[in-house]
Amino acid sequence: MADRKISSQDWEQIFQDFRGSSDARGRWLSFYTPAGLVEQALQAVGSKKDFALKLQTLAFLDENAALLVADDAAALDLLLDTLRSTLQAPSSADGNSSSSSIKEQMMVTVTSTMVSIDAIGSSPRSLEILVEMLLVFINRPNHSSERHLRATACECLRELEKDYPCLLHSSAGHLLALCQSERTHAGQAYTLLLTSVLRNIALYMPLLRSFYAGTYSILFTTVPLIPFSISPFLSSVSSRSSSPAVFSSSKDFSEECMKEFRRVISFLLEKPSLLTECGVAEFISDVCRTASCLDLQPSLLKIQFWNLLHSFSPISCHGFLTILARFPDAFEGEESIVYKRLVLFSRELSQPLTVRLLAIHWLLGVENLVTSRGREGVLPLVAKSLYPEAFDPLSLKAAKLECLARFAVVFDRQQREGSSENFVRVMVQEDATDMASKLLKDGLVCLSSYKWLPPSSTETRLLFRTLHRFLVSGYEHSSKVVAVLEDGEALVDSLLFRSLQDHLVRMARTVRKLVDRILALLDRFLSCEAHHGLGERLLRTFSEDLVPALPSNSQLPAYFPLMERIAESGKIPPRALIKSLETYLRFKVGKHSGINAANYWLRGSEVLAICRTLLMHHQSSRVFRRLTELFGYLCLYFPDIEVRDNARFYLRMLISIPGNRLREILTYGESQTEDSKPQLLHVSSFLGSPSPRVYLGKKASIQVSSFIHLTRETPLLVRSSWSLVLHDTFQPILEPVTAEDQKPTAAEPGSSLIAITDDEVPGDSDHPTSDNVLRMMDAKTADTLAVLRRHFSGVSESGVKIQVVCRLKVKSLEAATDNVDAQNLAAIYAAVISFSTSGLYGPIPLVRVPFLLSEPSHKPKSSVTSPTASTTSEGTERRFGKVVTIVLEPQQPVPTLVDCHIAFTDEDAQTVHGQLDSIPVGIEDLFMKPTVPASVSNEPEYLLSLFNALWYGCSGPGKLGTEIFLLKDGKQGLGLQGSESVKLLEAQADRVFSAVENYLAGFVVSVSGTSLKEMARYSGKFDKSCWIEEPSCSRSSSSASSQTELDKSDLLLASEESAGGEELGCFMVLVFLPPRYHLLLRMEVSDWSTLIRIRTDYWPSLAHVDEFLESFVIPRTKMDF
């Protein structure tokens, strides 16, 4: 059967689906064959005059050629026939298929298709036909009306030549003649095509000569341009070939060929003045490859394109640097001119930032190119011109400082080697022997703002990155770490390193907030094997120059982290460090006034921690005398009693225990706890109460959550959600407002509360408020307001609670640690579980469990599972588990995570505290049915009328004006403001129906459509739903709101005819979101997709509802339901 005709709307959907998932593409390919899609696309392009998607259709074929065409000969023939008829059609401007844009896109599409399917191997005859048509089209030089089309044809041929080298080698002579004849702007395309053909001939000359038995001429015209045929040897030089051809050299060319090449190149070198900037860049790339193969004099290219360096176009400059990179020897002695020009390029304020950064990148690249040739780089000669300026962007400052760091390393190395005369002669400065230090000092002037900016600022981070680069630019990581270390030892004695040391010491002394940044820099050095020596040397410098100069007052604690790092180095003498600590302690004791005791405990504990580090990393004999004096002073005079006791404890250990044994004792706790800091830093009677003691017997390292599990009885439909991670971010907090501000604002999500005074409480909630007595409305709006007033009069302001059922299980400690030798089961007694959450929820009541026995640690030995064994297993699970119900009072309907803490008594009468795994609360846990008044006799009819009223009220902002609905207590009023959204589920109807049946059946207030109603009747879970006839359920309806405005005559169940088309029917879902919000879903179910229209009076819930609905299409096992 022939494929159905595709309409314009279908084509738009096809374009979108083919760019999407493979499932969407597969749905279309199940209805249409690839050849059928190609045929209908070409028919629409070639025959339909009113088809407005011709260019998009051709682009669609271009993008999906490998999928739709592949090796289909019929599709290729159809493409070529369409191209031929399109090119032969007269050009016009009426927008039909023969317009210039259609012709150009058609040529591009067919060319791209040939390249995608590798036509030279799969369909060489089709490739010959395409090349022949393009050659015929370009063989009309100076035909001005088609100059754009001829240029496009040349570009298509050039692309084929690039993919299949030497494809047009036999047409080189004809292309030269066409290039000489062309006088329009299409001459650029002819020139670039000839250049590409010439380049491939030069590269693959050995194969050409062997094929033509040594008599090959590149400009012969004995073979006519048309008809065109592919040479047999092309398979060996094709870019797809498994064994690429060997490139040629000048020895492979005869004297006659060389003359022809020189003739063509001389002609081509006259063309760049007629080319655009991009054309010149491509031209230079091809000509350089050709000249390199022919060993031509590069001075020809140098003279011809030297002026490109002096332009402010980055493309032109790139073209010149291409020549420099290909022939660096031709520019020997002239590198300084190139450098100065690139420096000027980087300083040009009129250039974009990306171009200025590119100029710096080019500078470093040229320098690497020069030094790789064994010549001495001269880029440091222009170092003074690369100082960052005050108003340079930070990225440009970083690039310039990177250059200065490399120059400084070069200067420093030249100075240590005694060969800096050339640089001294060029660099004008007072002290020419310290050029590297001058570069450091002057370069960092632009980053002086670190003195008042926070340590986390970008400028401060850039400062320390620059310091790091100045230190290691010349000593990068390599496999030869020993060589790097030797260079690092030489660097330590250099003037550059001394300047960096002085700069860091000066920064640490004057700007205390940078101590953490300095520590990060030291850690970066110390953690690297190649640069570890630099870090050790910097630590020694801080110990010798910084620590003695620090003031022994209240500012010294800012340097305690640095002092502790110095104490960790066993190679640095600790004398200056201990002396500074002793002086500080005397200052603290002399300043003591009995106020702020916690500060004294904290500072004393920090000093003891540094002393402990000294004991762990230094020989006892090295620190014995000074530490005994310091500990003795603490024992006698320090105000805090805990610090005095700890100091006395350390003093006794230092006097009585040998050094090695002492270090073993001090490091014993590090293997027992996660934190390696001494415990005295974490116990405080001033800063907070001690942590609860956790006693677990022999298994002290086991976490409580490893053997006590609190899990949900029913898993969430949305297993992992961003809303459970960011549940407390950007959550709105609504506060009562005055009665004057009755109209909800756009910033308030959904229904806003209005405070009502006692004077404003009406006697009858069915009548409008005093502000709305004179309001004009029709009967339909009046009925809607009556339904809403009746509903909200039963809604409480607060106190609505939800329940999350969980199960508490206990595993024995032996089972938790895989100890199969245990025989007795553990149990917990008097367990109290407390809950907390950062979400918008009220207080969560505690749960008490008097006694709970742990699960058995042994599994049954029998491997055969019987029904009796299964029943026994379920009974055992109920016996050893406890159902725990978490009662939540939402203040806003948002998902959250509930943190669980447990305290219980174990079998050893010890109290155990710990934290359990958090319990996720999803959006589906907040789903509740609306409260039905006691006077309602027909519940389904009431719920449907409430759905229609809320759907109308939530259809847009201000739909109900300033109407205020009183809540149950009569003290708060509510203004209804709705938001709406649309969700498309691309899933089969049975999957969507199964999800609704399992998760939303209790909230469905209406089902329509014959097929859907039959499925609902068979299910048996929709008994309380209101079955209605809804003819307007089609998606093509113009207004979503009008689809739900149903008459009461439609409320009765009646036999109706099958819905037309693929529509199966509609679900209408009404959900109450505590404490006072609503969620309305209208689900229009079709065979392959479901369109869901969503309305709510709480707009932040839309994101969570979207995740909930998206999980409908996720494949799930039967266990998930």
Whole-number Å distance between alpha carbons of 1012 and 1030: 12
In a domain, 969, yes or no: yes
Place of tokens 């199940």: 30
36-94 pLDDT tens trace: 888 888 888 877 666 778 888 888 888 888 888 877 888 888 899 988 888 888 766 54
pLDDT band at 112 (very low <50, low <70, confident <90, very high): very high
530-559 pLDDT tens trace: 788 888 888 999 999 999 999 888 889 999
pLDDT over threshold 80, residue 615: yes
Instruction: State the pLDDT at residue 42.
Output: 87
Phi, psi of 1043 (to 5 degrees): -75, -20
- If one compares 1059 and 292, the residue with the highest pLDDT of the two is 292
Instruction: State the pLDDT at residue 157.
Output: 94
Mean pLDDT of 204-233: 72
878-901 pLDDT tens trace: 567 889 999 999 988 888 889 999
756-811 pLDDT tens trace: 444 444 444 444 443 444 455 667 778 888 888 888 888 877 778 899 999 998 88
Whole-number Å distance between alpha carbons of 537 and 515: 17
pLDDT band at 692 (very low <50, low <70, confident <90, very high): very low
Q: How many domains does the chain have?
A: 1
Mean pLDDT of 401-429: 64
Instruction: State the pLDDT at residue 670.
Output: 56
In a domain, 1085, yes or no: yes
pLDDT over threshold 80, residue 953: yes
Whole-number Å distance between alpha carbons of 103 and 107: 6
- If one compares 567 and 376, the residue with the highest pLDDT of the two is 567
In a domain, 357, yes or no: no
Q: How far is CA 987 from the centre of its chain?
A: 28
In a domain, 910, yes or no: no
Residue 795 tokens, joined? 């809604």
How many angstroms separate the Cα of 676 from the Cα of each of 37, 564, 680, 698?
69, 13, 12, 21
In a domain, 787, yes or no: no
The whole-chain average pLDDT of the chain stands at 76
Per DSSP bridges, beta strands 911-921 and 964-966 are: unpaired
How many angstroms separate the Cα of 434 from the Cα of each of 332, 412, 494?
29, 8, 10
Note if the bond before 890 is cis, omega within 30 degrees.
Answer: no
In a domain, 52, yes or no: no
In a domain, 1087, yes or no: yes
In a domain, 1032, yes or no: yes
Whole-number Å distance between alpha carbons of 711 and 920: 9
Instruction: State the pLDDT at residue 804.
Output: 92
842-884 pLDDT tens trace: 889 999 998 888 877 554 444 444 444 444 445 555 567 889 9
Instruction: State the pLDDT at residue 1069.
Output: 92
% of residues, the chain, pLDDT over 70 = 74
Neighbours of 690 (CB within 10 A): 9
Q: 986: domain range?
A: 939-1120
Place of tokens 């440091």: 380
691 Cβ neighbours under 8 A, 6+ residues apart: 682
Instruction: State the pLDDT at residue 1084.
Output: 92
Instruction: State the pLDDT at residue 724.
Output: 45
Instruction: State the pLDDT at residue 135.
Output: 92
Instruction: State the pLDDT at residue 589.
Output: 87
1047-1083 pLDDT tens trace: 333 322 323 333 334 678 898 999 999 888 899 999 9
pLDDT band at 623 (very low <50, low <70, confident <90, very high): confident
160-170 pLDDT tens trace: 999 888 888 88
Query: Which of 1110, 1115, 1117, 1116 is closest to 1090 using CA atoms?
Result: 1110
